[in-house]
Amino acid sequence: MKEVWVLPTSTLGPLGPSLQQQLLDRGIPSTVTVTPYGEFDRELLDPGSRYNRFRADLTVLIPDTHDLLAPAFEAPITTTDRERTELVDHAVARVSAAVYAASRNSKEVLLCNGTFPPKTALGFMGGDRRLSPATLVFAYNDRIAALGAENVNVTLVDYAGLVLAEGYDRWHDPRLWAHARMRLSRDGVDALASALARVAAATERQPCKCLVLDLDNTLWGGVLGEQGIDGIQVGGEGIGAAFVTFQRELLELRARGVLLAIASKNDHDDAMRAIEHHPGMLLRRHHLAAVQIGWQPKAQSIRAIAETLGFSTNALAFVDDSAHEREAVRQELPDVAVVDLPADPADYVAALRAFETLDVVRVTDEDRARNAMVVAEGARAQLRESSVDVEAFLRSLEQVAVVSAVDDATIGRAAQLSQRTNQFNLTLRRLDAASIRRAIDAGALALLLRAIDRLGDSGLVAFALATRGTQTGSWELDTFVLSCRVIGRGYDTALLSELVGRLRNLGCSELSARFVPGPRNSVCATFLADRGFVALEPNAYHLDLRKSDVTFPDYIVVRRESP
Amino acid sequence: MSITVSFSELCDTIARALQVERARVTAETSSATLHEWDSLAHLQVLLAVEKRFHVRFETAEMPSLASVRHLAERLGVRVPS
């Protein structure tokens, strides 16, 4: 049980229960005592005071500049220059004495800096630095910041910044000042409690050491495997600029000592080329402490990164735009913190700043040097096979495959999948809508698969086209593509199984298929062999439908929309 | 926006703000009858009632609202007889 004391210069009693709750929400049980109005100096300086008779674990000092510099705030025009100077000197002396006392009685001390009055009797003359109380607050804040640097157990809280972010008028309630000498509003009290609890938690916690980042739609816009290096969006104006802003924030975190690593499902060489050579990228290979790019599950990549860096996985946080990947990592590695990126990339920075696992209260020289050390060492431990339970994850997704024959409404998407898919593309045939239409008219079977699960609808993500061969009962697999968004979730097997079943109903007895190797489609090189197709010669396969079948994955439910 | 407030909900809110057992808050309860209802607790009661029932009290009326009956009257809640 943490003994917490809050010493404000005005009434702040309602902060007590609110702070106690916020600390508890962060796993810190506490008893919070808030000293009453007018007791700030006496409680701290009188050796016989209630505060000094107990030893505190955490002391929060909230000397409000509205109180410390009251004459300059309330009567800026009538306050003389000399009075202004004395006010600041006196305020700094008061707070120095308070910090000195608190840092001796308490394990940790949080010191709030002073807030600025946005409106005073000066009205539009507020910009006059000789009259404005803001000038005094700047001077005062400068001087008390030194107190935080001098005492190892004193942490400076940027209270002024908090009030700015929340809005001065929302933060304050003049009625309560008149009624009870309390300056803050209910909302202000709650926002302050939450911020103080965040800082208190950060002083105790080991901060996150490494951010593991996805690539597609996380560091750049678009899907590299579909759009190519020239098609992804990073840099320039519009959405590309949002990703640059996000990368700049990541580099700031790196400068603060957070290592950056990549875990991406992509073609390794293509992805490295984009990182190293795309003109819009700020983040380059030399910023990265570890890289895992391939088709393995992300949990496996994260374990490998932890091993490479010599951390346990609880020192890592995972950043990915895909709710599926986040869910998979949450299930497989519950001790890895997961950042829920919002839908709009322009909001990514705010999400990162709200992510409390990254909170630190001070940056050490060692923090600044950490990246250089890790990268210089170049330690790349051998990856170990991890025992990730992929099937349990897939089962938990409650996946549904909606399979339908291509029709006029969907033929455009079928063509798009055929033309854009570079990775999971068996034959690398590029079909336009007209040629798909001609094939269907000639009796071909064309199927689309739509992927839905409890996390959402991924849309039409797979397309297969089988054409009639020259001999009765023989068919050929002309095209088989799967969007890289859903690779590794079993939809490839689902579509193949469904295709084979329907072909059998059409009187098909044997299906021949080819794998055409290209620069990027190695992900599906063994797909046919793994599903029971027999290799007649390299990359040419055959399935005898009278003897064999392709088993539908039992963790996907099929829905048929048309015969 | 107007919301219908029941007397019992009002008492719940007051009891929580005062951190006392619900049974100790009745139509007759006030800062004079309940020693926990001191000036700091009164602030908690006012802020909790404002937030819960979406009202805003005037500075002048704040001191006079230190009883269940007065708060109920102010919110237009019928006090069970």
pLDDT tens across the length of chain B (81 residues)? 445 678 999 999 999 999 999 999 999 999 999 999 998 899 999 999 999 999 999 999 999 999 999 999 999 998 887
CB atoms inside a 10 Å sphere around CB A387: 8
Is pLDDT at A292 greater than 50 in this prediction? yes
The helix/strand/coil state of A107 is strand
A147: CB partners within 8 A, 6+ apart: A95, A96, A99, A111, A154, A156
The reply to whether residue B44 touches residue A36, judged by beta carbons under 8 angstroms, is: no
How do residues A166-221 score in pLDDT, each as one tens digit? 999 999 999 999 999 999 999 999 999 999 999 999 888 777 889 999 999 999 99
Of B43, B58, B59, the CB nearest to A14: B43
Q: Looking at the predicted structure, is the pLDDT value of residue A456 above 70?
A: yes
**Which pair of tokens denotes residue A278?**
């795309």
Q: Measured between CB atoms, does A8 come within 8 Å of chain B? A: no
Bridge-based pairing state of the strands A2-8 and A30-34: parallel
Distance (Å, rounded) from C-alpha B10 to C-alpha B46? 11
**Nearest-CA distance from B77 to chain A in Å?**
23
Note whether A17 contacts B43, CB cutoff 8 Å: no
Both tokens assigned to A511:
């299906």
Question: A13 and B63 in contact by Cβ < 8 A?
Answer: no
pLDDT digits (tens, 9 = 90+) for A319-366: 999 999 999 999 999 999 999 999 999 999 999 999 999 988 777 666
Both tokens assigned to A333: 């590695």
Mind listing the pLDDT tens digit for each residue in A388-413? 466 777 787 789 999 999 998 888 88
Q: Read off φ and ψ for residue A261, nearest 5 degrees.
A: -140, 160
* pLDDT, tens digit (0-9, with 9 covering 90-100), for A476-516: 999 999 987 788 889 999 999 999 999 999 999 999 999 99
Question: Would an 8 Å CB–CB cutoff place A543 in contact with chain B?
Answer: no
Q: Which helix (H) or strand (E) holds A20?
A: helix A15-25
The answer to whether the Cβ–Cβ distance between A13 and B51 falls below 8 Å is no
Burial of A52: CB neighbours in 10 Å, binned 0-12, 13-18, 19+ = middle
Contact B63 A179 (CB under 8 A): yes
Decide if B43 and A175 are in contact by the 8 Å CB cutoff.
no
pLDDT value for A168:
93
Mean pLDDT, chain A, whole residue set? 90
- B55 to chain A, minimum CA–CA distance in Å? 13
Whether residues A175 and B58 touch (CB distance < 8 A) is answered with yes
pLDDT at residue A50 greater than cutoff 70? yes
Residue contact A14–B47, C-beta within 8 A: yes
CA closest to B48 among chain A residues: A186
Distance separating alpha carbons of residues A476 and A546, to the nearest angstrom: 16
Q: Which residues contact A322 (CB under 8 A, 6 or more apart)?
A: A214, A217, A485
Measure in Å the smallest separation between the Cα of A105 and chain B Cα atoms.
Answer: 26
User: Which tokens go with A371?
Assistant: 């990246």
The pLDDT tens digits for A253-288 are: 998 889 999 999 999 999 999 999 999 999 999 899
Note whether B43 contacts A180, CB cutoff 8 Å: yes
A38 touches chain B (CB under 8 A): no
| SS3 (DSSP) at A136 | helix
| Partners of residue B42 in chain A, C-beta under 8 Å | 180
Mark yes or no for CB contact A182/B43 under 8 Å: yes
Q: Where does the pLDDT of residue A379 fall: very low under 50, low under 70, confident under 90, or very high at 90 and above?
A: very low
**A179–B40 CB contact, under 8 Å:** no
Q: Which two tokens stand for residue A551?
A: 């088993």
Q: Distance, in angstroms, between A117 CA and closest chain B CA? A: 22
Give the separation between CA A215 and CA A482, rounded to whole angstroms.
19
Q: At A558, which amino acid appears? A: V
- Can you give the pTM of this predicted structure? 0.71
Q: How confident is the model at residue A69 (pLDDT cuts 50, 70, 90)?
A: very high
How confident is the model at residue A365, as a pLDDT? Answer: 64
Question: Minimal Cα–Cα distance from B80 to chain A, Å?
Answer: 30
User: Whose structure tokens read 């997961």?
Assistant: A338
Distance between CA atoms of A254 and A260, rounded to whole angstroms?
Answer: 7
Chain B nearest-CA distance from A177, in A, is 9
Which pLDDT value is given to residue A366? 61
Mean local confidence (pLDDT), A73-85: 93
What is the arithmetic mean of pLDDT over A282-306? 93
Check residue A453 and give its pLDDT. 82
Position of tokens 């700030």?
A: A40
pLDDT at A205: 78
Tell me, what DSSP letter sits at residue A429? -
Q: Which residues in chain B are closer than 8 Å to A189, comparing Cβ atoms? A: 47
- Say which of A180, A186, A189 has its CB closest to residue B50: A186
Question: What is the reported pLDDT for A409?
Answer: 85
pLDDT at A387 over 80: no
Q: Does pLDDT of A382 surpass 50?
A: no
Tokens 């990164």 belong to which residue?
Answer: A305
pLDDT of residue A239: 92
CB contact at 8 A, A334 and A228: no
pLDDT value at residue A484 = 78
User: Is some CB atom of chain B closer than 8 A to the CB atom of A17?
Assistant: yes
Over residues A107-134, mean pLDDT? 90
Query: pLDDT-derived band of residue A296, with 50, 70 and 90 as boundaries?
Result: very high
pLDDT of the residue at A377: 40
Q: Give yes or no for a contact between A225 and A520, defined as CB atoms under 8 angstroms apart.
A: yes
pLDDT of residue A119: 83
pLDDT at site B2: 47
For the beta carbon of residue A549, count every other beta carbon within 10 angstroms: 14
CA distance A330 to A334: 5
A370 pLDDT above the threshold of 80: no
Tell me the shortest Cα–Cα distance from B40 to chain A, in angstroms.
6
Closest by Cβ to A180, choosing from B39, B57, B58 = B39
Neighbours of A449 (CB within 10 A): 26
Which residues of chain A are within 8 Å of residue B50 when distances are taken between CB atoms?
186
A170 contact B CB<8A: no
How would you classify the pairing of strands A424-425 and A337-340?
Answer: unpaired
User: Is 90 exceeded by the pLDDT of residue A416?
Assistant: no
Q: How big is chain A, counted in residues?
A: 563
Rounded to a whole number of angstroms, the distance from the CA of B36 to the nearest CA of chain A is 14
Place of tokens 């072909």: A503
Contact status of A182 with chain B (Cβ, < 8 Å): yes
Mean pLDDT, rounded, for A111-120: 91
Please state the rounded mean pLDDT for residues A452-476. Answer: 88
Instruction: Find the chain B residues whose C-beta atoms sit closer than 8 A to any C-beta of A.
Output: 19, 39-40, 42-44, 46-47, 50-51, 57-59, 62-63
Please give the pLDDT value at position A118: 83
